[in-house]
Each structure stands twice: as C-alpha cells, then as structure tokens.
Amino acid sequence: MSINHDSPIKNPVPVNILIPTYNQASLVGEAIESALAQDYPHKSIIISDDGSVDETPKVLAEFAHDPSIRVFRNEQNLGRIGNYRKLLYEYADAEWALNLDGDDKLLDPGMISSYMKALEQHHTAVFCTSRQWYGRIGRQKRAKSVEKMHAISGSKYFFEHYANYNFNHQTSLYNVALAKKVEFYSSEIISSDAESFLKLAWEGDVLYRKKKSALWRAHANNVSTVGDIDVKVINAQTLVENLTTYVTNRFPQHQSKLKAWRRRVMMEYAVPMFFRTLKQGDWSGLKRLMKRMGKFDAKMILSSAPLHYLARRSRRYVENLFLAVGS
C-alpha cells in the first residue's frame, strides 16, 4: 500500500496524543516536545500526571501556555494501567488516539500525518503502527525517508505478525470508540497494552510500516523490563490465557489455531528471559523459569532457544542494516 505524501488529507479528523507520566521529570519534557513536533495540525496533547512527587509538575507547568496541551493530575496514584484508563476513558475526546509514555519519545514528525493519509484510503483499519528503536537515547539511527504501509487482516496480525514482531505501544494510533468497545487496559498485567491491541485487531484491519518512528528508552524504572522472572512468566501466561479465552468465546472458528499460537508467543517471551538469566548468571532465576514454563515447554526452550535467538537477532541486524543504508 503506497502513500502519496504530496496529497493533502481530504477529511482531517482530530487526534489525541495521550501522555501518562509519573516521576519522569528528566524525560517527560522530551516526550512532550516530540509530540508537539508531529506535523499533523489537528492534534491535541493530553497529559495525566499520576501524582508525581519529583519535579514533574514543574516541567509540565512550562508547557501550560500552549493551547494544544491539557494537563491533569491524579489526586491519588492510580498506577500505570490505571493512568492509561484515565486518559482513554475520561480525557480522550478525539476519534483517534496514540499513547506515548512520558519516558519515551517520537522520532518521526510525519508519523501521524502518514497514518491519517493511509486511513483515508483504508476505511476498515482499526489501528496503525510502526516499529521503534530500543535502548538509550542517541543509539537510534535515522529511518528510511521512503516508507510503505502494509494492510493485513486483524486475524493475520494476531496469529502471524505479533509473534514475529514486537508490539510497539507508542507508535500505535487507534480508533478510540472501538478501543472502548473491546475494553482497553482492562487487565492489570505488564502487557495490558499488547493484550488490548490484540483484541482490537479482531475489529478490522491493521496498517503497519517497518519505519522505526519512536524511541523506547531503556532505564532502571521500566515496568516492562522488571527483573523478577516469576512476574514476567505470570505476565506472559496471563496474556496468553486472556487472549485464548477472548478468541475462543468471540471467534470460535479460529480456535484450532490457538494452541500453536500460544506456544509461539510463550517462546517469544521465554527465550529472552532464558538468555538474560544465563548472561547474568542467575541460576536461581533460570531454575524458576524452567519450572514455571512446565516440563514440555522447558524442553522446547533448551532444544530450540539458540537457533530461535540467533534467527531473531540476525533478522533484526539485517533489517537495521538496510534501514541505515537507505537513510
């Protein structure tokens, strides 16, 4: 699916950029600046401070003069998922929205404009997404200037795309009404965002591009990189169980595909944990991982993890190489 970047958007609609934050004084300013840098003119930025006790309120006050920005503060700390819900269900007022965590940043100023042009051509799409850089600021490279948008069915995204490519929350622009319909952020798990979008995918088609358009920062306070093996495995197992139930109840014609999908997704979660515990020499964590994965899955990890890991790393290396050459 090609996009004509020179053609204007015929029927522009409002877009919310939702920024949840908590104790991110040193980072949230960059997140806001990157949202302001989006060249889509019909955007508004809504920030929800989850009761920060550092200098975050002071940083947010510096943006109070901008009429496109609204700032709210929770009287009580709601937690990460609770703050997501607050933004979506109480503050969002546009047809489309994007969630940008306060410690991350957008890198492609034309990302939302690109999405909106694509959505005018593909009316059955329920969300658009791009890839992202992982790591520390300054390590990302420029993405290719020429991009291509791909359209796939929601079921294909669920069964094939998610298990092969990591889900990227802050690059995903979604239909607000449909997000509420499928009860976004209803699970109190680390991967509540991924669960939400995998449910949303069943409502239509998904538009995605390989252009890396955001930076997910690696730092000690990342909830999704919490070091506890038990928490990580429980998160993955809960994600898989919740989605299995969801698809079984609503789309029983796809039930036969779920067993293979469950195992593939669990491997995607387990293999990085396996190598991380090895690298850190965390033998106790490795033992707990194998125990929680169960006898059969543990054997699968031991037998296929090295090839699985090398294939995944090689694929990313080649893709990044082509991105760098094309930039």
Mean pLDDT within 128-133: 91
Tokens, residue 98:
């994007």
* 45 strand-pairing partners: 17, 69
Comparing C-alpha atoms, which of 305, 17, 304, 5 is closest to residue 171?
Answer: 17
Comparing C-alpha atoms, which of 56, 61, 4, 66 is closest to residue 35?
Answer: 66
pLDDT at 166 over 50: yes
2 to 5, 9, 104, 108: CA distances (angstroms): 9, 15, 28, 18
Quote the percentage of the chain above a pLDDT of 90.
58
Per-residue pLDDT tens for 23-64? 999 999 999 999 999 999 999 999 999 999 999 999 999 998
Question: DSSP E strands: which ranges in 136-242?
Answer: 150-153, 173-175, 205-217
Contact 208, 159 (CB under 8 A): no
The phi and psi torsions of 244 (rounded to 5 degrees) equal -60, -45
Tokens, residue 304:
């296929």
What are the residue ranges spanned by the domains of the chain?
15-217, 226-326
Mean pLDDT within 144-163: 81
Spatial separation of the C-alpha atoms in residues 103 and 217, rounded to whole Å: 7
Residue 136, pLDDT score: 58
Mean pLDDT within 81-85: 98
Comparing C-alpha atoms, which of 110, 123, 97, 150 is closest to residue 5?
Answer: 110
The CATH superfamily label for domain 15-217 reads Spore Coat Polysaccharide Biosynthesis Protein SpsA; Chain A (3.90.550.10)
Per-residue b/e over 261-291, b at no fewer than 16 CB within 10 Å?
Answer: bbeebbbbbbbebbebbeeeebeebbebbbe
Question: DSSP E strands: which ranges in the chain?
Answer: 15-21, 43-49, 69-73, 96-99, 105-106, 125-135, 150-153, 173-175, 205-217
Placement of tokens 């595909």 in the chain: 257
Comparing C-alpha atoms, which of 263, 116, 239 is closest to residue 167?
Answer: 239
Residue type, 282: D
Spatial separation of the C-alpha atoms in residues 286 and 275, rounded to whole Å: 9
Residue 269, pLDDT score: 77
Residue type, 142: R
Spatial separation of the C-alpha atoms in residues 254 and 259, rounded to whole Å: 10
| pLDDT tier at 279, thresholds 50, 70, 90 | confident
Spatial separation of the C-alpha atoms in residues 66 and 62, rounded to whole Å: 9
Spatial separation of the C-alpha atoms in residues 302 and 271, rounded to whole Å: 9
Residue 327, pLDDT score: 45
Spatial separation of the C-alpha atoms in residues 272 and 194, rounded to whole Å: 17
Instruction: Give pTM, 2 decimals.
Output: 0.86
Contact 293, 304 (CB under 8 A): no
Spatial separation of the C-alpha atoms in residues 238 and 193, rounded to whole Å: 13
pLDDT at 316 over 60: no
Quote the percentage of the chain above a pLDDT of 70.
79
Tokens, residue 49:
């401070």
Per-residue pLDDT tens for 221-241? 666 655 677 888 888 889 999
The phi and psi torsions of 203 (rounded to 5 degrees) equal -85, -5
